[in-house]
Every structure is written in C-alpha cells, then in structure tokens.
Structure 1
Amino acid sequence: MRILISTDIEGVAGIYHRVQTTPGNPEYERARLLMTREANAAIAGAFDGGARAVLVNDSHGDFRNMPPDLLDPRAQVVQGKPRPLGMMAGLDQDIDAVCLVGYHSRASGRGILAHTVNSFAFARLEINGLELGEAGLYGALAGEYGVPVVMGSGDDVFIAENHALFPQTRFVETKRATGQNSGISLSPAQACAAIQKTVAAALRDRAAQPLRFDAPFEIRMWAQSPALADLFCVWPALRRGEGNEFAFTAARIEEAVRMINCLSAMSAALR
C-alpha cells in the first residue's frame, strides 16, 4: 500500500490560537513540532498497518511547516506551494488510502480555529448544495481519484461535521472545543499514541469507501466581505450573487479545488 498523510495544524492537540499557527513567533515554533510529532505518529501507524510507502503532505499555510529532518525518515515529504492538488498533493502518485491529521471544522463552525481554505477570504463553501469544509472538499478530490479517506484526527466538532460524509472512516478526537480559541485537549503523547493505533487499524480493515459526488459541480461560496466577492468575480468564470455570494460550475472536483485555491491567492490583493 502507498499511503498519503495530509497534515494540518489547527486540529493538533494543544493548538488553540491563531498565533500558534502563524510563523514568526515562539508559540508557532512549538506548535510546528507538535504538528510534526502527530505526522510521525501517523507515519508509524501506516507502516504498522502494512504500508510499503508513505507520503506526508505539509498542508498548513505556506505548506512548509514541518522540519524535514524531524520527520520519520521512512516517509517522503511534500512541501511548498503553489501546487495543483493543494492539501492532496501526492494523490497522483498511485495512492491507496488517505489519512487526514490535524484537521479542523469548516468556516463559520464552532470548532477550534474553524475555517475553510482561507479564513480571510471565505465564510462558507457549498458543492451541489452541501456545505463542506476542507475535509469534505479534499476528501471528494481523493474520491475522484478512487482513493478513500480511512482516518481523520481533530477536534470533536470536526468529527461531528464529517462523520456522515465518511461513515466508515476511523476518527481520533484530539481535543474538545469549548470555543473557537479554547478547548480541552489530550496530551500530545496521548494524541500521538491514539493516531498511531488508529491509522494502523484503519489500514488493516480498509473499510472506508471513496467519497464521490455527481458531476457537474455547482460551487456556491460566500466571501468574508462584498469587496472580496467583487474581486473574485473579476474572473469571467464566476457569477456574482447577492451580498457576499458568488458561484461557478466545475466539471471535476479537481477543477473546483484549483479554482478555490486561485481565489484564495487573489484575496491577498485586499489584505
């Protein structure tokens, strides 16, 4: 088996505040090590579960958070941007299963550090009328490649939002949200032990099925401000709605992901 581990930071045990997720301060330096340890736990679990090769995808911010020399040397690491598949970069490398480590709940949700792709740019995302966060969006991208999401970790709100989408996926609750910047967390050691055990079990039973939606895909989004929606709709493929809303149609989930990530980059013009 070839396994892809997509690792974000907001769902990691002990992470509560934006400063911990933003480079340039001591709290981030500690947080990126916690992220790396959870990635290593997932890598170890993958090999325990029978993997013959593991790619670990650095999926937060600029996609270059985890020090490569601190990652399990049995894995290869995918870092840096831009890249067409975003948080699923490496999916085109003959992958058999995906694990989502350190993920978080969707924009406007009640989970810790909840957002979808870009907290400055986007307030809501729907595909064919179904509200999704990053797990749903990228899980559908994996499904388009025929690859199931077998495991996910993050807070309780992330799990509650995604359980129906991934009913056979095994989840690890690393913390319980009591607010967007507060919660009750496992210790990092407990979280890593649970992640390693769960990844191994998920790969042994391989019960999860790929997440698939019917094409074509109607993407409706709400920007964080009308000004951002105006900016995005300079792009001719987008249709302007009321208030903060805009929409576009995609033939494939991969096309939608690439469009959304381009809009995220565009939003920097109004920061």
Structure 2
Amino acid sequence: MKILVSTDIEGVAGVFHAEQTRAGNGEYERARAWMTGEANAAIEGAFAGGAAEVLVNDSHGGFRNLLPDQLDPRARLVLGKPRYLGMMAGVEAGVDGVLMIGYHGRAQSRGVLAHTINSGAFARVWLNGKELGEAGLYAALAGEFGAPVLMASGDDVFVQETHALMPWVRYVETKSAGGFGSGASLSPAAARAAIAAAAAAAVRERAQAQCLRIAAPVACTLQTQTPAHADLFCQWPMLERRDGVTLSFQADSVQAAVRMLNCLSAMSFMLK
C-alpha cells in the first residue's frame, strides 16, 4: 500500500503568525521543524497502519520547508516548484490514500491564517457551485486519480468545514482558532502523538474511505482580492469577468481547474 502525505504549515500546532510561515527568521525555522515533526508522525502512523511505501509532499509556499535530514528515512520527499499537481504531487504515481497534515481553513473563514492557495490574490473559490478551500480542491483532484483522503489535521475551523465535505476522514484538531492570528494549541509533542495514532487507524481502515468526486466539466468561479487582480487574470482569454472581482472559467477536470488557479496565483506576484 502506498500513502501520500501532503504537509502544509498553517495548521501545524503552535503556528499562529505569518512570520512563522515565511523563510528568513527564527520563528519560521522553529515552525518548519514542528512541520517536519508532524510529517514524521504521519509517516510513522502510515507504516504502523500497513503502508509499504510513503511519499511526502512539501505543500507550503515555495515547497521547500520540510527538513530532509530530519525526515523519517523510510519516506521519500517531494520538494520544489513548479509542479503540475501542486499540493498533491505524487498522486499521479498511483497511491492508495492521502493524509493531509497541517492544513487550514479556506479564505474568508475565521480560521488561523485561513486562505485559499494565495492569500493576496484569491478571496473565494467555487467548483460547480461548491465553495472550497485547499483541502477540498486537492481532495477532488486526488479523487480523479482514485485516491481518497484518509486523515487530516489542522485547526478546529478547518476540521469543521472539511468534515462537512468529507465525513469519512479521520481528523486531528491541532488547535482551536481564537481569530486569524490567535488561539489555543496542543503542544507539538501532543499533536505528533495524535497524528501518529490517527494516521495508523485511518490507513488500517482505508476500505471505509471514499474519493471526493466533482463531475466534469468543471465550472470554476473565483473572487479576487482586488479589481487589479481581476484585470490581470483576464489576460487569459478563457476567463469571463462577471463584476469587478468575480471571474469564471470552464475546465475539463478538477486537475485542469487547479492548475489554472495555480497559474493565476503565480501571475499575481506581478502586482507586488
């Protein structure tokens, strides 16, 4: 059995401030070590649950956060960008399930550091009329490859919104949100223990999981953070502008929709 672990940072225990998610300061160095620890806990649990192979996807920012020399040597690590499948790179190799570690609530929610793909560019995203955050977008992408999400961790807002979408998933609440940058967290050690136990149980019970499916063709609606972003994104002829900040486009698959969103995210840095 092959398991993919997709690891973000905003949902990691102890992370509450943007400085902890950006390279170049001591706060980030501590946070990336906690992130690596939670990835290791998921790896430990996956193998304990019966996995024969584990692939870990560094899924935050520039995708160069996890510390390779501190990662469980039984796992292989996907680092760097650009990559076609973003936070779900590796699923194309054929995996039996996905563990989402350190994930966060979608943009405009009250979760800790909540955003969807790019906090400076995207305000809200819908596929076929369903508003989704990163977990929903990438779970649906994994579903196109026949890979169900088995387990996920993050704050209470993330758990609540994602449970409504994927009730079969086993969740670990690493912290409770008091606001965008505040809340109460488990210790890193307690979070690691909970993640390892949940991952083991989720992998053992894989047969009970389902793939999240979104029917093709996929209608994507996007609200941008500013009209300037909409101006820029509409350089793509396939995008239709509905108002100052609302755009829409059609895609042949969830994969195609997510890849377009990631292209738009990359374009947005032209405005900085």
TM-score by length of 2: 0.99
Runs of 4+ displaced beyond 4 Å = none
2:61 aligns to what? Answer: 61
1:205 maps onto 2:205 in alignment: yes
Question: Is contact 1:166–1:208 with CA below 8 Å preserved after alignment?
Answer: no
Partner of 1:23: 23
Q: Does 1:196 align with 2:180?
A: no
Task: Tell me how many residue pairs correspond in the alignment.
Answer: 271
What is the RMSD computed on CA atoms of the aligned residues? Answer: 0.5
Q: Deviations over 1:179-229 (max 9, x none)?
A: 000010001000000000000000111111000011111100001000000
Residue 34 of structure 1, CA deviation:
0.4
> Residues 111 and 180 of structure 1 are in contact (CA less than 8 Å); yes or no, is this contact kept in structure 2?
yes
**Is 1:219 matched up with 2:223?**
no
Q: Distance in 1 between matches of 2:195 and 2:93?
A: 23
- Contact 2:4-2:55 within 8 A present in 1 as well: yes
Cα separation, 2, equivalents of 1:63 and 1:205: 30
Question: Residues of 1 paired with 2:139 and 2:182: CA distance?
Answer: 27
Q: How far is 1:241 from its partner?
A: 1.4
- Residue 249 of structure 2 aligns with which residue? 248
1:80-134 C-alpha deviation (Å, 9 max, x unpaired): 0000000000001110000000000000110000000000110000011110000
- Is the Cα–Cα contact under 8 Å of residues 94 and 145 in structure 2 kept in the other structure? no
Output the CA distance in 2 between the equivalents of 1:188 and 1:42.
Answer: 13
Match of 1:178 in 2: 178
Structure 1 equivalent of residue 169 of structure 2: 169
**Counterpart for residue 77 of structure 1:** 77
- Identity, % of aligned positions: 63
Whole-angstrom CA distance in 1 between matches of 2:219 and 2:35? 34
After the TM superposition, which residues 2-17 of structure 1 pair with which residues of structure 2 at under 5 Å, given as runs? 2-17=2-17
Can you give the 5+ residue segments of structure 1 that lack an aligned partner in the other structure?
none
Mapped to 2, the partners of 1:126 and 1:264 lie a distance apart of: 16
Look up the match of 2:148.
Answer: 148
Cα-to-partner distance string for 1:28-74 (whole Å, 9 max, x where unaligned)? 01000000000000000000000000000000000000111110000
Partners of 1:199 and 1:268 in 2: CA distance: 36
- Matched with 1:98 is 98
CA contact (8 A) 1:6 1:56 kept: yes
Residue 239 (structure 2) aligns with: 238
| 1:116 and 1:122 in contact (8 A); partners too | yes
Q: Which amino acid aligns with 2:261?
A: I
